[in-house]
Amino acid sequence: MSDPVLEISGLEVTFPGLVRSTTILRSIDMRIDAGDVLGLVGESGCGKSMTALACLGMVPAPGSVSGGIKVDGYEVVGRSDAELGAVRGSKAAMIFQNPMRSLNPFFSVGRQMTEIIRLHRSCDKADAYMIAMEELTSVHMPDPDFALSKYPHQLSGGQIQRVMIALALACRPKLLIADEPTTALDVTVQAQIISLLRELADKTGLTILFITHDLGVVSQLCNRVAVMYAGRIVETGSVEDVIDNPRHPYAAKLMNTVPTIGHGLRDLDSIPGQVPDPAFPPPGCAFHDRCALAIELCSQTIPRTKVMAGAHEVACHRAGDIRDAAKVTS
Ligand SMILES: Nc1ncnc2c1ncn2[C@@H]1O[C@H](COP(=O)(O)OP(=O)(O)OP(=O)(O)O)[C@@H](O)[C@H]1O
Ligand SMILES: [Mg+2]
């Protein structure tokens, strides 16, 4: 087995409060091997973005982080900002939902790209410009020279996202973290960016942690999926395992909330109830009060992660009893 590009073990993120502290991420274990594209899914507020930020040592103050996060073998937890410079960009890079916010509106795209490239790769301005051109070409920017001469607001949302991907890849990271990078784009441009990421993963072996609400995108882009609920990973496996054969009742419900590619239109479902407030976590399994299959044990004891088959892992007391996901989706 190859060394993982990302290995998270026992990750916890806690924010202090006036009355009580709030634990946002709980006992997160996650592994992404070289070349894997892992989709991280879950309802709003489950902790997907916080997991991504933690990987780059970017949990905002006064949050505290414990556990381990190794990016390409480098332990992130406990490092100073100065030390984390070695991780950000060169080991892992991140792209966001609103790429426009990551660029300075007062400087041209070319100036910003060359400055960032020079920061990470020791080269002069002319070489940095050539690298920017090459990277923009590799992300299929229609006219790289033109794009470099423009200010961010003069490019479309899709073009700006290509700039951000080019910039992220210019520093040759082992891991690309993408936090809902296509949510703000229209459907056609969204599809182009997804196919670009798939192409980069196929051609260059780029490893990607892709955060999304869109399970259709997961089917197109990812080979593995992790499902988060209330700050925990509740199911992990291959796309086939988790999308076609979910074992956690929450994952099964989630799969039924959107039509998935290759399955035609399923009956769209919504999950009754709400994600619990992390300041007041329910006892036992955090999903038990929304779960049609819950038994007494579920409200008492937090389920341990069980390996179902191969790399399909589920944290549910009833996982062994669920033979057919349809039972929990009907
Ligand atoms: N700076 C912060 N201080 C305290 N709590 C925070 C902070 N940022 C996020 N949270 C809390 O952490 C939890 C997880 O938030 P996170 O942004 O990771 O969710 P998410 O899964 O990315 O949701 P979405 O799909 O809406 O982007 C939420 O309960 C949120 O309120
Ligand atoms: Mg988020």
> CA 64, CA 284: separation in Å to the nearest integer?
24
CB atoms within 10 A of CB 204: 12
Instruction: Say what the pLDDT of residue 323 is.
Output: 61
Residue nearest atom 8 of ligand 1, based on CA coordinates: 50
Distance 54 CA to ligand 2 centre (A): 13
Q: Which phi and psi (to 5°) does residue 164 adopt?
A: -65, -40
Mutate to test the pocket of ligand 1, among 25, 41, 48, 250 (most ligand atoms within 8 A of CB): 48
| Higher pLDDT among residues 259 and 186, named by residue | 186
Which ligand places an atom closest to the C-alpha of 58? 1
pLDDT tens figures, 62-117: 999 999 999 999 999 999 999 998 788 889 999 998 888 889 999 999 999 999 99
Instruction: Tell me the longest C-alpha to C-alpha distance in the chain.
Output: 67
Instruction: Say what the pLDDT of residue 289 is.
Output: 94
* Residue 326 scores a pLDDT above 60: no
Residues with CB under 5 A from ligand 2 (ion): 49
Helix (H, G, I), strand (E, B) or coil at 259: coil
Cβ neighbours for 190, distance < 8 A, ≥ 6 positions apart: 182, 217
Residue 218 CA, chain-centre distance (Å), reads: 11
Q: What angle do CA 68, 69, 73 make, to 5 degrees?
A: 110
> CA 329, CA 320: separation in Å to the nearest integer?
16
Instruction: Say what the pLDDT of residue 257 is.
Output: 61
Instruction: Say what the pLDDT of residue 314 is.
Output: 96
Terminal-residue alpha carbon distance, the chain: 39
CB atoms within 10 A of CB 133: 18
pLDDT tens figures, 26-41: 999 999 999 999 999 9
Least confident of 3-7, 126-130, 207-211, 272-276: 272-276
Domain ranges for the chain: 4-91+173-329, 94-172
Instruction: Say what the pLDDT of residue 121 is.
Output: 84
Mutate to test the pocket of ligand 1, among 40, 50, 229 (most ligand atoms within 8 A of CB): 50
Query: Is-contact 141 161, C-beta < 8 A?
Result: no
Distance 315 CA to ligand 1 centre (A): 22
For the record, the structure tokens of 8 come out as: 């998270």
Instruction: Say what the pLDDT of residue 262 is.
Output: 45
* Residue 320 scores a pLDDT above 90: no
> Mean pLDDT, the chain, as a whole number?
91
Confidence of residue 267 (pLDDT cuts 50, 70, 90): very low
pLDDT tens figures, 193-233: 999 999 999 999 999 999 998 888 999 999 999 999 999 99
Instruction: Say what the pLDDT of residue 89 is.
Output: 83
Topology, domain 4-91+173-329: Rossmann fold (3.40.50)
Mutate to test the pocket of ligand 1, among 23, 49, 250 (most ligand atoms within 8 A of CB): 49
Distance 70 CA to ligand 1 centre (A): 22
Average pLDDT over residues 251-267: 61
Distance 257 CA to ligand 1 centre (A): 21
Confidence of residue 137 (pLDDT cuts 50, 70, 90): very high
Instruction: Say what the pLDDT of residue 182 is.
Output: 92
